[in-house]
Amino acid sequence: MTNRIAVVTGATGGLGTAMCKALAAQGRAVVGTHLPGEEAQAKEWQAGLQQDGIEASVYPLDVTDFDGCKAFVAAVEKDLGPIDILVNNAGITNDAPLKRMQPEQWNQVINVNLTSMFNMCQQVFENMCERGFGRIVNISSLNGEKGQFGQCNYAATKAGIYGFTKSIAQEGARKGVTANSVSPGYIDTPMVRQVPEKVLNNIVAGIPVGHLGQPEDIARAVAYLTADEASFVTGTNMSVNGGQYMA
């Protein structure tokens, strides 16, 4: 167990919180990010973790803002030290069938889910390579693997994550820096609970294990891929979906 610094973007969300807990349990110094303007919720989130004995730092960050990402990484490095682990978890949906999708909807989802990968990874990558250690995990989705009606924007970003991740995995391979993706299936989070009940029942019926996943299922995958010992695992995708899609 080392006190390596682990950053999780979109940390205050359903999956992010579970990831922060799992990383803290591995002895990581956890840094979460919240959306600018959500300071009060972020403080509450931090206090919730404190009740579990976890001292997490939390910073505002909009992952679509390249200069903001640069400033965020500089601030963390100044306050705490170099970033060893980066989990690009922030993500959104904004669904519509292709014929009704507006350019704004397309661009928003591309920026939050995909351009954010570049915005964040570029800030930490060289430093990780120079120090000879880094773990990057990019959160994709089952729907990036198989596509989904009404989600051409979301699925495109989540599929794009695979190409991005495999490319930087090759760039970091000889420097001790791994990059992998995790593709959650349907997990019991507020994002999924927004789905109308009838639709959700149909989704659950299509999951071979017969139930939704739990945030901890994804957090365990992240903990595994960011372990110091996981140095031989790079450029891969881990599907955590109850058997719903077997690539």
Q: Using CB under 6 A, which residues numbered 135 to 164 contact ligand NAD?
A: 139, 141-142
Shortest reach from residue 198's CB to ligand NAD, in Å: 18
* DSSP structure class, residue 243: T
> Among residues 62 and 84, whose Cβ is nearest to ligand NAD?
62
Other C-beta atoms within 10 Å of 82: how many?
16
Shortest reach from residue 58's CB to ligand NAD, in Å: 11
> Among residues 133 and 179, whose Cβ is nearest to ligand NAD?
179
Considering only residues 5, 7, 10, 42, which one is a binding residue for ligand NAD as defined by CB under 6 A? 10
Contacts of 239 (CB under 8 A, 6+ apart): 142, 145, 183, 185, 245, 246, 247
Tokens of 164: 């991005």
Considering only residues 96, 101, 191, 233, which one is a binding residue for ligand NAD as defined by CB under 6 A? 191
- Nearest residue to 9 (alpha-carbon basis) of 82, 87, 75, 74: 87
Shortest reach from residue 123's CB to ligand NAD, in Å: 14
User: What's the CA gap between 17 and 181, in Å, rounded?
Assistant: 18
Q: Using CB under 6 A, which residues numbered 211 to 230 contact ligand NAD?
A: none
Shortest reach from residue 184's CB to ligand NAD, in Å: 4
Helix (H) or strand (E) holding 96: none
Shortest reach from residue 199's CB to ligand NAD, in Å: 13
Placement of tokens 């500089």 in the chain: 74
Buried-exposed string 151-180: b where 16+ CB fall within 10 A, e elsewhere: bbbbbbbbbbbbebbbebbeebeebebbbb
108 sits near ligand NAD (criterion: CB under 6 A):
no
Q: Site size for ligand NAD, by CB under 6 A?
A: 27
Shortest reach from residue 157's CB to ligand NAD, in Å: 8
8 sits near ligand NAD (criterion: CB under 6 A):
no
Considering only residues 8, 58, 61, 177, which one is a binding residue for ligand NAD as defined by CB under 6 A? 61
Catalytic residue among 59, 154, 162, 186: 154
59 is catalytic: no
User: What's the CA gap between 72 and 64, in Å, rounded?
Assistant: 12
User: What's the CA gap between 23 and 17, in Å, rounded?
Assistant: 10
Considering only residues 54, 71, 80, 92, which one is a binding residue for ligand NAD as defined by CB under 6 A? 92
Orientation of helix 14-25 relative to helix 39-51, angle to 10°: 40
Contact 126, 134 (CB under 8 A): no
> Among residues 133 and 139, whose Cβ is nearest to ligand NAD?
139
* Total length of the chain: 247
Interface positions with ligand NAD (CB under 6 A)? 9-10, 12-16, 35, 61-64, 89-92, 112, 139, 141-142, 184, 186-187, 189-192
Task: Kindly list the catalytic residues.
Answer: 154
